Homo-oligomer: A and B are copies of this chain.
Amino acid sequence: MRPMVAAAAPVSCEYCPVGQHAVYAPALAATPDAITTRRHVQTVLAARRTIFSEGEIPKRVYTLFSGWAYRYRTLSDGGRQILSFFVPGDFLTLQSMKPGPLPYTVKALTEVALCGFERETFFAFLLRSDELRESLCRDVLAQYDEAERTLVDIGRRPALARVARFLLSMEERLRARGLVQDGGFELPIPQGLIADALGLTTVHVNRTLASIRDSGAIEFGRNRMRIRDFDELRDLAECR
């Protein structure tokens, strides 16, 4: 399978293919130039490159144009907890809304293309209109909600249910962005990272995925996942 290719974003943001999912989508619809002129940089980064480091104070902020990224916190013992994965259209550092050091690291999973803005003017712009504020607010609360949902998962559910729900929520998110085709989707997340996101180990994620595959609910190969039986998978996610 060919690796995902990241192309830099087009010159104008007006017809941006992922703009409708961006936090500033309302502005793109109304006054696309307002975004284009504020966009400072377009960058392409190789897979595994660090985009922000924990403790860094961001002067520039990014929307993910193509590719996948993720963010995580590091433990004193070297372990890490992945907090979320990003897909095209996602804004990488909502927490930078207020100035100060970032409490997590952001890293490119695949090769990525980024659209960069100057932090201060970017948020000043978002706060100027009611509509944009509301969009920003919705994004923050949605991420907050997802964090607490994951908290419930990790705190109270067995590994099988966690993995099943992870797959379901990933499918739902990708479907909303039109990234589900032929009933399946690209999932360039190695099992070790799924483990770091779900509070498990690589070995156990591997066994769990294998058992779900054996149940017939999913099939997958390198970088690709297909849900064959949603009802079955939802049953597993309910944790019995």
Q: Which residues of A contact B (CB under 8 A)?
A: 73, 75-77, 79-81, 83, 95, 97-98, 103-104, 127, 133-134, 137-138, 140-141, 143-145, 147-152, 154-157, 198-199, 238-240
> In the bound complex, what is the Cα–Cα distance between A149 and B103 (angstroms)?
9
Q: With A98-B138, A137-B97 as known contacts, state yes or no: A75 contacts B148, CB within 8 Å.
A: no
Q: Quick one: given A77-B239, A151-B151, are A95 and B145 in contact (CB under 8 Å)?
A: yes
20 contacts across the A-B interface (CB closer than 8 A): A73-B149, A75-B157, A76-B238, A77-B239, A77-B240, A83-B148, A83-B151, A95-B141, A95-B144, A97-B137, A98-B137, A103-B145, A103-B148, A104-B148, A143-B144, A147-B147, A147-B151, A150-B151, A155-B199, A156-B199
Chain A facing B: main interface SS: helix
| 10 A-B pairs with the lowest CB-CB distances in the bound complex, closest first | A155-B199, A81-B152, A81-B155, A144-B144, A154-B155, A147-B147, A79-B156, A81-B156, A73-B152, A151-B151
Complex contact B147–A148 (CB within 8 A): yes
Residues of B contacting A76 with CB < 8 Å?
238-239
Contact B127 A133, beta carbon cutoff 8 Å? yes
- In the bound complex, residues from chain B placing their C-beta under 8 Å from that of A198 are 155
Chain B residue numbers with a CB within 8 Å of A151 are: 81, 83, 147, 150-151, 154
